[in-house]
Every structure is written in C-alpha cells, then in structure tokens.
Amino acid sequence: MKNTNLTEGSIAKGFILFALPLFLGSLFQQLYGTVDLIFVGNYMGKTEAAAVGASGILVTCLIGLFTGISVGAGVITAQYWGAKNKENVRKSMENALFLALAGGILLMAAGQLLADWALRALNTPASILAQALVYIRIYLLAIMSMIIYNMCAGILRAMGDSRTPFLVLAAGGFLNVCMDWCFIAMLGWGVAGAALATVVSQTFTAVFLMVYIFRKENLLRQRWKIERRMSKTIIKIGIPLGIQAMILTLSNLVVQYYINGFGEDAVAAFTVYFRVENILYLPIVAFGQSIVTFAGQNYGAGKYERIKKSAIVCNIISASVIMILSTVILMLGRTILGIFCRDENVIRLGLQIIGVSFPFYFIYSIMEVTGGLVRGVGKTIPSMIIVIVTLCICRIGILKLFVDQFHSLRMVAAVYPITWSLAMIAFIICFVDVSRKMLKKQ
C-alpha cells in the first residue's frame, strides 16, 4: 500500500483520508465482540450476554500496558519517518515486534492465573460467574495475537499506511462472523464458542499482518537485531501510556464493580450500551490515532506551526461528526438497543444510560484529539498525569461520593461526561503550553 505523507498538503483532507481506514479498521475490530454479543444474546439469552460483558474489561486491563507500548513505538516510528530516517524506522520496527512477542507470552500466562480471582473481586453476579470464567479463559488465548496485531498496525500507521490494517481486519471480521455462526448457532457452544471464534479471527489478523511487515519493502532484516537503546526509547515513551491505559482500565473496573451491584439486568444493559457506544467511540479512536501519527510525522519534520493549526481544524471535524452521530442514536435508541437484546427491562435501562451520556460525547472527541496531539510530540508523561487525575481519581471519587449515597444507575452513567470535561480542559491547557514551547524552538 502507498504510504501517506501527512507533513504536506491540506490538513483537513489528510486527516480525514487517513482517519477513514482507521475508523473502518476499528469497526471491524469491535465487530469481533459485537457479533459475539448478538449471537450469544439472541441464541442463548441475557445471562450469557452479561457473562461476555463482565469478562471483556479484564482483557482490556491486561493488554493496557502493551497497548501503550505499541503507541510509543508508533510515535517513535512516525517521528523517524517524518525525519526521513529509514534506518531508525527499521530499528524501531524490529524492537517493537520483539517487545510484542515477549509481552504476549507474559500476559497470556498472567491472565490465566488471575482470571478467577479477578472476576470474584469485581463482584461479578453469581448467576454469570461460571460462564464468564469459561469465556475469559478461552478468550485469553488471543492475548498474544491482539498485542502483535496492535503493534504491527501501529507501525504501519506511523509510516502513513492506515489501509492495510483495515483490510486485514475486514477479513478477520468476516472470519469471525463465520466462526460465530458455526460455533454458536450451529454447534450450540454458547460463550465458549463466542470466545473461540474471537481467538481464531484475532490469530489470523496478527499472523497475516506480521508476515506482511516482514516482507514489506525488505524493511526488516533476515536476523533481528535487538538494540537496548532503541527498546529503551520505545519503552520510555510507551510505558507512561501503558500505565495510563492500565490505570484508566482499573478505574473502569471500579465502574464495573458499581454496575455489578445493580444486578444482572444492569450488567446486561451496560454491556449493550457499550456496544452501541462504539458507534461514537470508534470514530473518536480513529481521529485520535490519526492525530498521533499526524503530530509525530510533523514533529519529526520540524513543522511545528502545522501541528498548531491542526488542533483547531481536527477538533472541529471530530466534534461535528460526533454531534451528528449522537443525535441520530438518541433518536433511534430503542431500535438500536433492540438489535443486541430482546429483554424489555434491559432496553429500558439502556435508554436511561444513553440519555445521560450521549449528548456530551463531543467533549470526549475534543479530549481525545487534543490528547493525541500531546502524545504525538512525545509528551506522554503529562498525558499520563492528566488521565490518571481526571479519568481515574476523579471518576472513582465521584462514584464513591454520589453513587454510594443515591444508588442511581444514571449517576454511574453521568460519571463519564463529568470526567471527560475535566480531562478536556487539562489537555487543552497542556497543548497550549507544549505548542508555545515548540514554536520557540523554530
């Protein structure tokens, strides 16, 4: 695939064209879990759907550290690519893939050991505990594939290729649908079949993309050369993002704990809500990933004024898209929720949750794009501090103060837009400071 040069041309056009395959790729990645839920919810029932939902956040927590490292590798690669330093691009790729392989093995082992304890610690309802454990133990077999795919996709995006990861994920998504039909609808394997379908499809995408990178323009040598200095550089930028991702996920585990306290219907409602939320979340992720690559390439090329201009242009684009989508979902909420679950009480609770958070989702888009600019120029420690303080400490504090007192499911949902607003303000202040310092260097 042809690589996109984000250091030249129209900011808006480059941002949108680069983000589109990222959005479609994220869509197919989320398709794995969404199709699982549709098949389980319709062929089995709300208990199985709740079991799948209660397990997913643990996997996210486990891979959070190496997700951050993959972003760190992407930032380094993008900066070297923008500076047209192909030798260091090659070195960053080799070391990033080594870290992905090592991390995948460690996390797969840790997950199997901690799964039962973690589900119990999260106050998982007894009615879904056994099936949640079955699901997560099988699902964990895909951990290494997830890490390898994310690392490979991050490397390709850093070099301006957002289309190849999308095409691979599209193929993986189709495979996942086929496996779900086979394992759940035909064989009746329930949550085990849903997890196994994801393992098969994730493994396919990881292997295919890794082979593609090995062969792409001979950028990787026949023998890997692991350089301690390059690995340290990747880890130095990636670890703060990994810690940020893990602690953020831990705060979401606290949210899950509170959700579990409302019972099985509430767990199922939030599980369905998070699937519907992807309609808004996935474009935001795409915009955030796109701006990290944009900022990284332009930072490496020394085009700091272009980075500053992108903050306004890209935030307007992102916020506008999200406001349109959130309005449509609010209008069609019952119909959309009904795709994932047929239980009337679950749909009623889901509509309450959507009504609280979706009108404010544009705030999250501004937070993500501005934060992506900060991370793209390598300022990952300030990003980590902002996320930990606003989205973790403040989020848990609000839950403790208000949900414990009022025991309101709506208050659990409201904690998201409240903390997004705090993070957005902090990231804007941080970017203004970073931008001022960059322009002084010119």
Domain boundaries, given as residue ranges, for the chain: 11-441
Transcribe 164-231 into DSSP letters: HHHHHHHHHHHHHHHHHIIIIIIT--HHHHHHHHHHHHHHHHHHHHHHHHHHGGG-S-SS----HHHH
Nearest one of 34, 73, 81 to 56, comparing CA atoms:
34
What does R_g of the chain's alpha carbons equal in angstroms? 21
Give the 3-state DSSP-derived string for 382-426, with helices as H, strands as E and coil as C: HHHHHHHHHHHHHHHHHHHHHHHHHCCHHHHHHHHHHHHHHHHHH
What is the enclosing helix (H) or strand (E) of 90? helix 86-121
Are 100 and 70 in contact by the 8 Å Cβ rule? The answer is: yes
DSSP 18-30: HHHHHHHHHHHHH
128 within 8 A of 267, measured Cβ to Cβ = yes
pLDDT of residue 425: 96
Residues 6+ apart with CB under 8 A from 121: none
What's the token pair of residue 352?
Answer: 């309450």
Instruction: Report the alpha-carbon distance of residue 160 to residue 78 in Å, rounded.
Output: 8
**Residue appearing with tokens 């997560």:** 136
Six token digits for residue 45 = 């029932």
Half-sphere exposure of 261 (CA within 13 A, CB side): 14
- Give pLDDT, residue 174: 85
Q: Which are the contacts of 341, defined by CB distance < 8 A and separation ≥ 6?
A: 41, 46, 49, 268, 272, 347, 350
Residue 326: the pLDDT is 93
pTM above 0.75, yes or no: yes
How many angstroms separate the most distant Cα atoms in the chain? 64
Per the CB < 8 A criterion, the answer to whether 350 and 340 are in contact is no
**pLDDT tens digits in sequence order for the chain, 442 residues long:** 556 677 888 888 888 888 888 788 777 666 665 666 677 767 777 777 777 777 776 777 777 667 777 777 888 888 888 778 877 887 887 788 888 788 788 888 888 888 888 888 877 888 888 888 988 899 888 888 888 888 888 888 888 888 888 888 888 888 988 898 898 888 888 888 888 988 999 899 999 988 888 777 565 555 667 777 888 888 888 788 778 877 887 788 788 888 888 888 888 888 888 878 888 888 998 898 889 888 888 888 888 889 889 999 999 999 999 999 999 999 988 888 888 777 888 888 889 899 999 999 999 999 999 999 999 888 888 999 999 999 999 999 998 888 777 778 888 889 999 999 999 999 999 999 988 887 776 6
